Structure 1
Amino acid sequence: MDIMRLLRDKSPLPIAAYQVSGEYSMIKAGGVLKMIDEEKVMMESLMCLRRAGADIILTYFALQAATYLCNQKR
């Protein structure tokens, strides 16, 4: 994310980030085991990428995040 922030500060081009399957799996497993609040951790991990400068985020959480965001607007 530090590199993404450096790129964002130096370039006007769009930046894409990819959330790897291992991070997705850890968040899902932590949620199943009730060790974490899966939705909160999912959204925080995506927001971290956004804050670092990502314009586009590719993630296995795409449908879950979209559902969460749609429900927050109501």
Structure 2
Amino acid sequence: ALAYLDIIRRVRDRYDLPVAAYNVSGEYAMVKAAARNGWLDEKKVTLEILTAIKRAGADMILTYHAKDAAQWLSD
């Protein structure tokens, strides 16, 4: 989804339909690997990614981060 935030926004603006975005496995793996190496804060980066997708106009987000994000957002 990250490479297509502009497209998500265009679809949101043009059509009155639900918009879904898929946070692909490569984006997930990139965050996991960088966090494992101590290069970033996994929680902060993940929530920022999901926020960016939502702000672009997605009504729903499919993501491998779902369980972690649900836990972090309920804390």
Shorter-chain TM-score category? over 0.9
Letter aligned with residue 20 of structure 1: V
Q: Could you tell me the percent identity over the aligned residues?
A: 52
Partners of 1:11 and 1:36 in 2: CA distance: 36
Partners of 1:26 and 1:4 in 2: CA distance: 21
TM score, norm. by length of structure 1? 0.94
Show the counterpart of 1:7: 11
Show the counterpart of 1:31: 35
Letter aligned with residue 69 of structure 1: L
Partners of 2:7 and 2:26 in 1: CA distance: 20
Show the counterpart of 2:62: 58
TM score, norm. by length of structure 2? 0.93
Partners of 1:47 and 1:54 in 2: CA distance: 10
Partners of 2:11 and 2:31 in 1: CA distance: 27
- SS, match of residue 38 in structure 2: coil
State the number of aligned residues: 71
Structure 1, gaps ≥5 residues long: none
